[in-house]
Amino acid sequence: MAYGGVPAGPLSAYLGVREGNRQAGLQEIEGATQIQGMLARAQAQQKQKAYEQEIAQAKTPEQQAQVALKYGGPEGAIKHLDRQAQLAGTLELGKGRLQQQANQLEMQNQFKTSQINAIKDEDERRKAADEWQKTYQQGLLDVQRGQLEIKQHLVKLKMAPGNEPLKAPELLHYIDKDANHPPPGATLNDVISKGYRLASTQEVNMLLAGRGAESTVNQLDKYVESIWGKEGEDKISEGIRNRTKSGVSFAVDRAQQSNPDLNAYEAFGQGTLAPLIRAIGENGALAEGDIQRGINLIPKTGNKLGELPDTSVVARQKMKQLRAWFTEALGKGGGTTRITSDAEYNALPSGTEFIAPDGTKRRKP
């Protein structure tokens, strides 16, 4: 058999065998190189895993530097310290900005309070105060959440102790998968180790609104029972004549202030319950029609022109529907978080549905 232009014979056979051996040797070398590469990658992964475990177990920055020196030599230790210094500088800058935000919020609160106190009309003054308090409390929650986020980073990086008990307002910002808060006395180390996550300001608002809704509806139930009667003892029966008669009686009581529960109920419904319904609806991203439906479920006493009181049966039915409205609204708000900043978006786990600042519903990749 000829080989490379050499006529068939002993020489061409020799050259063919030599070339075959050379190719086989190259394949063996290539295979060995691949195996060595795989072993090297496996060893590097094991080394990185051991490094991460020891870094996580290190309790002080000095111990972390020792771990970095062990696995990366002097160069690794220097890189680690440089990285720690950069992180510390970034976090300190964040703390300064949050403090500036808190100071500005307090200055704005003093200015707005003086403006509100100068309003002569009582209803307008109360409305303005309620609106500002909502904005002010939202600002406070944003600052508190930012401070906790920085503190949590410092603890995870072993740059700050995490064994001090968190204050009650701080515990409010942490929830588990069932929306329960850490118990009183829990430290930041406890919170991190037991899997509590830092809730968004939106979620905290909904949790607070939920607790307020429960106590508010319970109080409303007592007023409804006093004004319309318990089950089976209806004080206002059906029919235009009976409802008109009750409306006139309520008007007299209202003028004479002879029925404290009636006066308290009407003030409570408009001054407390209606704003709470609107706040929950806005936080839960409900449509204006859904919010108005909740407000319309407040039993009517005929205190508006051309309006008759609800019958006792209707009033009790409205209360049942109102409780269902709160359950539905809080469920929608708790299930879909409204995002107002990059930090809140970054805190969401992958795959989480959220409501963007423009009101559209999206899912994080």
CA end-to-end distance (rounded Å), the chain: 63
- Domain boundaries along the sequence of the chain: 128-199, 204-338
Is the pLDDT higher at 279 or at 147?
147
Check whether 335 has a pLDDT greater than 50.
no
Average pLDDT, the chain: 77
pLDDT in tens, 42-80: 666 776 677 667 666 666 666 666 666 666 666 655 565
Q: Mention every residue, 6+ apart, whose C-beta is less than 8 A from residue 60.
A: 158
| Mean pLDDT confidence for 176-184 | 82
DSSP 338: E
Using CA atoms, how far residue 133 sits from 109, 122, 148, 206, in Å, is 9, 16, 22, 16
- Provide the token pair at 250: 């309520």
Assigned architecture for domain 204-338:
Up-down Bundle (1.20)
pLDDT at 358 over 70: no
Tell me: pLDDT of 194 over 80. yes
Sequence-separated (6 or more) residues with CB below 8 Å from residue 125: 116, 117, 119
**pLDDT tens-digit map of 149-158:** 888 888 877 7
- What is the per-residue pLDDT across 89-128, written as a single tens digit (0 to 9) for each? 677 777 788 888 888 889 998 998 889 889 888 888 888 8
Summarize the confidence of residues 270-275 as an average pLDDT.
77
Using one digit for the tens of pLDDT, what is the confidence trace for 1-26? 555 555 555 655 665 666 666 666 66
**Token digits of residue 272:** 């407390």
Task: Report the SS3 class of residue 189.
Answer: helix
Give which of 278, 268, 328, 253 is closest to 299, Cα–Cα. 268
Q: pTM for the full model? A: 0.46
Read off the pLDDT of each residue in 270-299 and give the average, rounded to a whole number: 80
User: How buried is 196 (Cβ within 10 angstroms: 0-12 exposed, 13-18 middle, 19+ buried)?
Assistant: buried
Cα(39)–Cα(310) distance, integer angstroms: 81
- Burial code (b: 16+ CB inside 10 Å, e: under 16) for 232-254 equals eebbbeeeeeebeebbebbeebb
Tens of pLDDT, residue by residue over 207-228, are: 777 777 778 888 888 999 999 9
Distance CA 79, CA 28 (A): 39
